[in-house]
Amino acid sequence: MASNEKEQQVVMNKKFIIPYWWKVVFAFTLGWMFINANKYFLNPILGEIGLEYSLNNSQLGLVNSIFFLTYTVAQIPAGAFSDKFGRKKLLVIGFILYGILTGISGLMAGFTGFLVARALAGFSSATYYGPQFALSSEAIPEKNRTEGSAIINSGSGLGIAFGFVLSSTLVLDKGMSWSVPFYIFGVLTVLVGILISVLVKEKNPDKESKQREQLVEPSKKGEKVSVLSLFKNRNLLITFLVLFCSIYGFTVVVTWLPKFLETERGFHGSQVGLISALVPLASIPGALIASYISDRSGRKKPLVFILIPVAAIALWATVYVDNTFLLILALLVYGLFGKIALDPILISSVSENVTPTAYGVAFSVFNFMGMLSSVIAPWFVGFLADKTGSMAAGFYSAVIVLIVGFFLMMFFKEDRKGKASLQQ
């Protein structure tokens, strides 16, 4: 009798054991939340930062551009270092340093020091992208990989929305100093970094590296993958450029929408953060729906030809309409059809147009090309606002860039079954 009770207890204990991959998904979802919250929470309070340092719009745009410049430049080296020294080690060290530098940014008395702190924060955050994808792919079972990745990626939208709402509430509603959100997000990021260190494991990197070499080297003989060869592939080149166009529009929205709502639509306080948060929140179901349709249909071009024009029209309407209801509707539509909905389709395009041995360099170049627009857009839109006296010109530039992406996609080669040849 006692033996049966022990067996039942063992069975019950097994039922309540949380699978390891669930822990990984939880940790990396929080990771994406705070990577993105720290990137964008300052946007609703850019005006307060501008008053502190006596900045014009071009200089305010530089605050984001300098962050994304160092983030973009460090992408490819970070991937190489993680393969050499260990993915988890580099990710955790970079993540905790990112939190510390976020907090330090709020302490800077001068604008130059603030820019340096933001540049270093951007550099340290670059250690997350590649290692996170590698570690989560290693941990999540293949049958659960799509849903696990979708949950992890949802952290991006949640983080942006959380950052917008918290910073606008504390600073614009409560009257706190603009530096307070920097301290809060700095501390929370360090804590999440420690949590990732505790929950996430990594296989022996040296042993794994040797196994990879044994498996991959025979297939690589006589084959040398270079960055230049990727740009010679028509589909890859188009995918990189369309991502650039898509991220340009998204960067314009998440950087300048709060200031646009405040200065040109008359919203105040936490209203600014709440309305701005609609875009990242709407993007979560948008990405899940777009991924599902793309997987079911097996084709990319027809879906892209819907997503990009609708996103462009929604951006145009955001600036053009005066009615509050229509403005909110336009932002929701952009969230559903915009950049984050397009991302999984473009990621799939990369994997289908290169051999598996080139995945590492291909995805590094993919992210590098996309993030270049995050370097250009904040400063350029601020420059246009200074020259024209309105934020509208910057949003219209995003519409034009999206239209360019639409026409580029016409040259993407795809057969009726949705398959693209590796030789373009």
* Burial annotation 356-370 (CB, 10 A radius, 16+ → b, else e): eebebbbbbbbbbbb
Please provide the DSSP assignment of 166-234 as one string: HHIIIIIIT---TTHHHHHHHHHHHHHHHHHHHH-----HHHHHHHHHHHHHHHHTT----HHHHHTSH
Give the Cα separation of 192 and 62 in Å (integer): 28
pLDDT at 202 (0 to 100): 77
**Cβ-proximal residues to 370 (8 Å cutoff; 6+ apart), any chain:** 240, 243, 244, 246, 247
Please provide the DSSP assignment of 5-74 as one string: HHHHHHHHHHHTSPPHHHHHHHHHHHHHHHHHHHHHTTGGGHHHHHHHHT--HHHHHHHHHHHHHHHHHT
Give the Cα separation of 399 and 391 in Å (integer): 13
CA within 13 Å, CB half, 413: 11
Q: Which domain holds residue 396?
A: 225-424
Reference 66, options 105, 139, 117, 125; nearest CA is 117
Tell me if 353 sits within 8 A of 235, measured CB to CB.
yes
**Cβ-proximal residues to 208 (8 Å cutoff; 6+ apart), any chain:** none
pLDDT at 424 (0 to 100): 45
Helical residues (DSSP H) of 86-179, grouped into ranges: 87-105, 111-125, 129-139, 145-167
Task: Tell how many helices (H) and how many strands (E) occur in the chain.
Answer: 20, 0
Beta-carbon count within 10 A of 250 CB: 28
In a domain? residue 3: no
Q: Are 288 and 152 contained in the same domain?
A: no
pLDDT at 154 (0 to 100): 83
Q: Are 295 and 420 contained in the same domain?
A: yes
Q: Are 41 and 69 contained in the same domain?
A: yes
Residue type, 226: S
Count of structural domains, the chain? 2
Beta-carbon count within 10 A of 345 CB: 22
Give the Cα separation of 75 and 360 in Å (integer): 11
Tell me if 305 sits within 8 A of 392, measured CB to CB.
no
Of the residues 176, 208, 240, the one at which a domain ends: 208
Q: Are 202 and 232 contained in the same domain?
A: no
In a domain? residue 398: yes
Q: Are 242 and 161 contained in the same domain?
A: no
What's the CATH number where 390 sits? 1.20.1250.20
pLDDT at 222 (0 to 100): 42
In a domain? residue 334: yes
Q: Are 266 and 194 contained in the same domain?
A: no
Q: Are 195 and 229 contained in the same domain?
A: no
Place of tokens 């550099």: 123
pLDDT tens for each residue of the chain, 424 residues long: 455 555 555 444 455 578 888 999 999 999 999 999 999 999 999 989 999 899 899 988 999 999 999 998 887 777 667 767 778 888 999 999 999 999 999 998 899 999 999 999 999 998 887 788 778 877 888 777 667 777 888 888 899 999 999 999 999 999 999 999 999 999 999 999 999 999 998 776 555 445 444 444 444 444 555 677 888 889 999 999 999 999 999 999 999 999 999 889 888 888 889 999 999 888 888 877 877 777 677 677 888 999 999 999 999 999 999 899 999 999 999 999 988 888 878 877 887 787 766 666 777 788 888 889 999 999 999 999 999 998 899 999 999 999 999 999 999 987 655 555 444 4
Give the Cα separation of 273 and 315 in Å (integer): 18
**Cβ-proximal residues to 245 (8 Å cutoff; 6+ apart), any chain:** 373, 401, 402, 404, 405, 408
Q: Are 270 and 410 contained in the same domain?
A: yes
In a domain? residue 8: no
Q: Are 84 and 232 contained in the same domain?
A: no
In a domain? residue 10: no
Place of tokens 């024209």: 388
Q: Are 174 and 269 contained in the same domain?
A: no
pLDDT at 221 (0 to 100): 44
Of the residues 179, 208, 237, the one at which a domain ends: 208
In a domain? residue 92: yes
Q: Are 415 and 364 contained in the same domain?
A: yes
Burial of 145 (0-12, 13-18, 19+ CB in 10 A): middle
In a domain? residue 11: no
In a domain? residue 315: yes
CA within 13 Å, CB half, 64: 34
Q: Are 196 and 280 contained in the same domain?
A: no
pLDDT at 220 (0 to 100): 45
Q: What is the pTM of this model?
A: 0.80
What is the 8-class DSSP label of residue 142?
G
